[in-house]
Amino acid sequence: MDQLFLGIADTNYCAFIVVGDSSGEILSTGVGGSINHRRWGIKQARRNLQTIIETVGGESGSRIAAACFTYIKGQLVTKQEMLPIVTGLMEGAAVQVADFATTAALGIHSPKERVFLMGDHLGLAILQSEGGQRHEVRCGEPLWNNTRRREADVMLQGVCSVCQEWEEDLRGNERCLLDVAQSLDSLIEEGDYWALGVACDIACNLVRLVGKLGNRFSRPDPVIGFYGPLLLGSETIRQRVQYLLEILFPGAEVMDTPLAPAKGAYLSSLLTRKKELKQEVLTTFYNSAHSVMQRGWLDFVADN
């Protein structure tokens, strides 16, 4: 029976999973409960991980050769912290915790120069050059413009009424940000000009992040991958960002990359058993990742 390699990207709300073999072939993708013990506790994190393992590898984790975990920026979980969660669930498996920025850029399925654009509370853009250099820029304040901040406060408190400290929750809760994005679209459909202004503020700030990296592009046709609840959760924001990027960088290829961090974590899990990835492994990965995107990006749900 073939050994499995797992890439798991945790959003604090859920975990995206990519399962593959040692050749770089992605076998399946899915979503399960969050394994961030800082947010949910070790007991719940272990329960969620066990459900994921049973879903992808049978009742035992013996088929799993290696697993790589990555957490959204701001959650610097260490390998030592993972031991109480994985002990007894993946015996003999190599366990690694990888930097989010590294896995995010690595997981965009293109051998060309690539940019990972994340639309969350603050925003993040990462450039991975063909030579292997990585550059990143972040927004230092929320993506919506400060001139609209008071109105945004009122709207967001309404959307996230379940949160006692809504602004703190926005920083780490993808579900809440997704609600915000969808609420903006609903208001825009009703003709709300204020909501349209907020969406345009967010879109322009995301485009500015890519623009700051533009002078580092070594070729005119980078791949730009979209990620994050504000960017993928609002069709208005997404369309506006793509429209502006295509004007600024007409040769660029734009794609949605909701699984990029998990795909990058999967590749990183292969590196736990190898010093470097052979070109044929990367080629197989790029081809299978493209196939995953075409058929739809979730094969299973590991209920928690």
Residues 125 and 232 in one domain: yes
Q: Give the pLDDT of residue 17.
A: 95
Distance CA 145, CA 140 (A): 12
Residues 229 and 267 in one domain: no
Q: Give the pLDDT of residue 165.
A: 41
Bridge partner list, 124 = 118, 138
Mean pLDDT of 204-225: 93
Instruction: Report which of 287, 261, 284, 258 is spatially closest to residue 7, judged by C-alpha positions.
Output: 261
Residues 174 and 235 in one domain: yes
Q: Give the pLDDT of residue 168.
A: 46
Question: Whats the size of the chain, residue-wise?
Answer: 304
Share of the chain above pLDDT 90, in %: 46
Give 75 or 55, the one with higher predicted confidence: 55
CA separation, residue 83 to residues 27, 102, 267, 294 (Å): 26, 22, 21, 36
pLDDT tens per residue, range 16-44: 999 999 999 999 999 999 999 988 899 99
Mean pLDDT of 55-68: 78
Mean pLDDT of all residues in the chain?
84
Q: What range does the domain containing 119 cover?
A: 114-256
Q: Give the pLDDT of residue 132.
A: 78
Residues 205 and 268 in one domain: no
Residues 57 and 87 in one domain: yes
Count of structural domains, the chain = 2
Mean pLDDT of 234-241: 96
Residues 126 and 35 in one domain: no
CA separation, residue 145 to residues 85, 151, 203, 230 (Å): 40, 10, 11, 14
Residues 31 and 153 in one domain: no
Residues 189 and 239 in one domain: yes
Report residue 51's pLDDT band, with 50, 70 and 90 as the boundaries: very high
Mean pLDDT of 183-210: 92
Residue 243 has pLDDT above 90, yes or no: yes
C-beta of residue 207 within 8 angstroms of C-beta of residue 249: no
Q: Give the pLDDT of residue 58.
A: 62
Q: Give the pLDDT of residue 161.
A: 46
| Least confident stretch, 69-83, 123-137, 158-172, 227-241 | 158-172
With b for 16 or more beta-carbon neighbours within 10 A and e for fewer, the 97-132 pattern comes to bbebbbbbbbbbbbeebbbbbbbbbbbbbbbbbeee
Give 82 or 73, the one with higher predicted confidence: 82
Residues 38 and 149 in one domain: no
Compute how many other C-beta atoms are within 10 angstroms of the C-beta atom of residue 173.
Answer: 22
Residues 226 and 284 in one domain: no
pLDDT tens per residue, range 135-182: 999 887 666 655 455 555 555 555 554 344 444 444 555 677 888 889
Q: Give the pLDDT of residue 90.
A: 86
Distance CA 266, CA 262 (A): 6
Mean pLDDT of 182-189: 92
The predicted model scores a pTM of 0.86
Residues 127 and 23 in one domain: no
Residues 87 and 24 in one domain: yes
Residue 196 has pLDDT above 80, yes or no: yes
CA contacts within 13 A on the Cβ side of 132: 0
- What CATH number does the domain containing 63 carry? 3.30.420.40
**Phi, psi at residue 44, to the nearest 5°?**
-70, -40
Report residue 281's pLDDT band, with 50, 70 and 90 as the boundaries: confident
